[in-house]
Amino acid sequence: MKVLLDDVHVRLGERDVLRGVDLELAEHRVGIVGANGSGKSTLARLLNGLVVPTRGRVAVDGLDTATHGAEVRRLVGFVFTDPDAQIVMPTVAEDVAYSLRPRRGERGLPEAERAAVVRAALAERGLAGHADHPAHLLSGGQKQLLAITSVLVTRPRLLVADEPTTLLDLRNARAVGRLLGALEQQVVVVTHDLELPAAYDRVLVVDDGRVVADDEPAPALAFYRRLMGA
């Protein structure tokens, strides 16, 4: 799967958040790092049409995100920093099942088949014993696993995760990192945890609205540390 950004600019209010970004993303694992306010989260949101360019073009497998947003979002799943912003149903199983609701013009899965898919998805993520639990009363790590599960059950071809470990303790952050690293889907991860993308295929460094480094992880992360004076 290929994502193209062609001379992308994003202006929000009076601020130029991204300026002149040109990228082609096709690697299995891509990390994005940058300081707070650098534009990295906006860059991530461009990839599934949550944000559209003020100028320029973003295309996912040839689909322009500005004109084919719904189709793009069927291909590209998105995981937010705070899972509470993503969990919408009362119980764990209901939240995963909600992701399987039929879209306009589509036939939904029969109820028994949908239930079987939900059970399998929860079992795969270690959440089977919590199926009927209140979703918002899970631990922080369990909530993030649920949020990821609810996205993955739709079978996206690309998963974009915006700082998915920021609110987690070390053990849960590492568990989520291992999960993202083992997925068959393409993954783009925005992160402040520099260990997370260290084994990825490619790392982008964003600063002041521009991609200022684009390389294999070791040199890209070394550049970022120098940029931050670390």
Place of tokens 């991204």: 18
Q: What is the structure's pLDDT at 105?
A: 57
What is this structure's pTM? 0.94
pLDDT tens for 74-119 read 999 999 999 999 999 999 999 999 999 887 656 677 888 999 999 9
Three-class SS string for 86-119? CCCCCEHHHHHHHHCCCCCCCCCCCHHHHHHHHH
| Domains delineated in the chain | 3-90+160-227 (3.40.50.300)
Place of tokens 């649920």: 146
Q: What is the structure's pLDDT at 103?
A: 72
Task: Supply the mean pLDDT for the chain.
Answer: 95
